[in-house]
């Protein structure tokens, strides 16, 4: 990495309801990984604060939060985790879920992220994912998961605005994983492609 002080990371990528959050939470429990979900960061903001109110308005409509605000909030959250030493960029591989989510963000994050791999969780069946999201709505009480129109709008946005992000990266960086396997099978595939990255990351810091 040399003088590169960007965060070494892998991206968790894929449509809503594909299981990024589930996998991210498992990875977060393995030493050497630090999982950060942009959606979780947004949901944790105090809804009474000015940023919180604005963010909630976008989330509840299934719209993307504007790029400038997204980056500002994301930087603040990463900085806070670093300051607390919960995230140690020299020791932990960042597993980033939810960013970049459009082409403008691809350019913005170049300054902050050293992306090694993109873990693309694929699911061919949109109805199956909508079903998963409905179950998640009950489990996690998410405002953006409760309404079918909002869910469908998020899928549209994914196809139109987020999916094209993949085309901006070298195909050799993209690891396609079928999300229809059991959580353990999906985890095994993710580990198969992230462990070598982690080893490389640590070697370069020894
Ligand atoms: P999903 O399961 O739908 O992918 P997330 O938890 O990743 O849900 O994101 C929830 C919401 O947070 C998104 O619908 C969007 O409103 C907002 N969001 C998350 N990441 C970003 C981002 N990088 N840029 C703008 N908005 C974002």
133 Cβ contact list (under 8 Å, min separation 6): 16, 17, 145, 151
Determine, yes or no, domain membership for 1: no
Q: Is 21 annotated as a binding residue?
A: yes
Q: Are strands 113-122 and 33-37 parallel, antiparallel or unpaired?
A: unpaired
Determine, yes or no, domain membership for 15: yes
How far CA 169 is from CA of 89, 96, 110, 159, 181, in Å, comes to 23, 16, 12, 17, 26
Determine, yes or no, domain membership for 147: yes
Count CA atoms within 13 Å of residue 195 on its CB side: 7
Atom of ligand 1 nearest to the CA of 100: 23
Tell me, what's the pLDDT at 192? 96
The answer, yes or no, to whether any atom of ligand 1 lies below 6 A from the CB of 109, is: no
15 C-beta neighbours (distance < 10 Å), count: 20
Determine, yes or no, domain membership for 79: yes
Q: How far apart are CA 130 and CA 136, in angstroms?
A: 10
Tens of pLDDT, residue by residue over 146-167, are 788 888 899 899 999 999 999 9
Q: Is 22 annotated as a binding residue?
A: yes
Cβ atoms of residues 8 and 24 within 8 Å: no
- Pocket test residue of 19, 24, 57, 64 for ligand 1, highest count of atoms within 8 A of CB: 64
Q: How far is the CA of 39 from the centre of ligand 1 (A)?
A: 5
Specify the CATH number for the domain of residue 76. 3.40.50.300
pLDDT, mean over the chain: 91
Determine, yes or no, domain membership for 186: yes
**Structural domain count, the chain:** 1
In the predicted structure, residue 142 carries a pLDDT above the cut 90: no
2 pLDDT band, cuts 50/70/90, is very low
Closest C-alpha residue for ligand 1 atom 14: 62
Place of tokens 């105090």: 46
Its domain, for residue 172, covers 7-199
Q: How far apart are CA 31 and CA 75, in angstroms?
A: 23
Determine, yes or no, domain membership for 18: yes
Closest C-alpha residue for ligand 1 atom 15: 64
The answer, yes or no, to whether any atom of ligand 1 lies below 6 A from the CB of 99, is: yes
Tens of pLDDT, residue by residue over 45-79, are 998 998 999 999 999 999 999 999 999 999 999 99
Closest C-alpha residue for ligand 1 atom 2: 16
Determine, yes or no, domain membership for 206: no
> What's the token pair of residue 105?
């963000």
Higher pLDDT, 129 or 168: 168
Cβ atoms of residues 162 and 102 within 8 Å: yes
Cβ atoms of residues 190 and 122 within 8 Å: no
Determine, yes or no, domain membership for 2: no
Q: How far is the CA of 38 from the centre of ligand 1 (A)?
A: 6
How buried is 36 (Cβ within 10 angstroms: 0-12 exposed, 13-18 middle, 19+ buried)? buried
Task: Name the 3-class secondary structure at 202.
Answer: helix
Q: Is 18 annotated as a binding residue?
A: yes
Tell me, what's the pLDDT at 92? 94
In the predicted structure, residue 1 carries a pLDDT above the cut 60: no
The answer, yes or no, to whether any atom of ligand 1 lies below 6 A from the CB of 15, is: no
* 160 backbone dihedrals φ, ψ, rounded to 5°: -80, -40
Fill in the DSSP letter of residue 65: P
4 pLDDT band, cuts 50/70/90, is confident
- Pocket test residue of 21, 38, 157 for ligand 1, highest count of atoms within 8 A of CB: 38
Buried b (16+ CB within 10 A) or exposed e, 105-129: bbebbeebbebbbbbbbebeebeeb
């Amino acid at each position: 990495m040399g003088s590169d002080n960007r965060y070494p990371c892998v991206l968790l990528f894929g449509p809503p309801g594909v299981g990024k959050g589930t996998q991210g939470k498992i990875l977060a429990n393995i030493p050497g990984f630090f999982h950060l979900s942009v959606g979780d960061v947004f949901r944790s903001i105090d809804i009474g604060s000015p940023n919180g109110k604005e963010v909630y308005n976008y989330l509840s409509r299934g719209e993307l939060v504007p790029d400038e605000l997204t980056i500002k909030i994301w930087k603040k959250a990463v900085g806070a985790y670093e300051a607390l030493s919960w995230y140690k960029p020299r020791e932990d591989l960042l597993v980033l879920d939810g960013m970049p989510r459009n082409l403008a963000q691809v350019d913005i994050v170049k300054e902050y992220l050293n992306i090694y791999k993109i873990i693309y969780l694929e699911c061919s069946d949109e109805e199956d994912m909508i079903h998963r999201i409905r179950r998640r709505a009950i489990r996690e009480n998410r405002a953006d998961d409760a309404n079918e129109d909002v869910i469908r709008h998020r899928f549209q946005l994914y196809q139109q605005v987020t999916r094209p992000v993949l085309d901006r990266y070298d195909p050799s960086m993209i690891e396609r994983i079928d999300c229809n396997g059991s959580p353990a099978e999906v985890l095994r595939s993710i580990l198969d492609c992230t462990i070598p990255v982690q080893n490389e990351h640590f070697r370069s810091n020894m």
